[in-house]
Amino acid sequence: MRLFLGIEVPSPIKKELDQLFFGLPGANWVNKEQLHITLRFIGEIDRHQMKDIDDSLKLINFPMFPIKLKSVGAFYNKKYPKATWVGVDGNDQLLDLQKKVERTLRQTLTLERKKYLPHLTLARLKETSFHDIANYLELNSLFSAGPWNVDHFNLYSSVPTSQGPQYLIEESYSLS
């Protein structure tokens, strides 16, 4: 199984995001029903490891906290823009939760260390020009949505399909 941990985006926030899902040539837009903020990509694991992960994540004690989405950005490689995203504002508590999740997972798994940049991916880009992405980012630079209270996070599996990956909630972990 291919797993990751993430925070669901509530339906009212998804509606606010609608205004961003247009106007960018070469954009392969993310399915709005599957929008999430990734806490940690785990990767391929077996059912036994999943049980160990689940058992350890159930022990996390962390308070609910508010977050909101603010601004748009893009990831680039040397030749072209790769993806566009919405940033997360007020993310000190989100960063603390992510660190706690990371420490918990490292008790069970060996994971590659990566810098955490909280974001919500809107689209993967193919042959989008720098000019087009610059226009899109400028047009949407004042975007914000929320806030909402994060009261849980999920363990998702990613199942490949012909329409792209399908994310399924395997377990959910409440925040107090």
- Give the CATH number of the domain where residue 61 resides: 3.90.1140.10
Answer yes or no: is pLDDT of 8 > 70: yes
d(CA 102, CA 114) in angstroms, rounded, equals: 10
Q: What is the pLDDT of residues 88-116, one digit of tens each?
A: 986 799 999 999 999 999 998 888 888 99
- For residue 145, the model assigns a pLDDT of 97
Q: What are phi and psi of 165, to 5 degrees?
A: -65, 145
- 8 Å CB contact between 53 and 153: no
The b/e string for 138-159 (b: 16+ C-beta within 10 A; e otherwise) is eebeebebbebebeebbbbbbe
Domain total of the chain: 1
Residue 110: per-residue pLDDT: 83
- pLDDT averaged over every residue in the chain: 94
- Mean pLDDT of all residues in 12-21: 97
pTM over the 0.75 mark? yes
Q: Which residues pair with 124 in a beta bridge?
A: 28, 83
pLDDT tens-digit series, residues 23-59: 999 999 999 999 999 999 999 999 899 999 999 999 9
Q: How much is the average pLDDT of 64-93? A: 93
Range of the domain at 119: 2-174
Q: What ranges in 26-129 are assigned the alpha helix state H?
A: 47-57, 92-106
Question: Which residues are tagged catalytic?
Answer: 36, 119
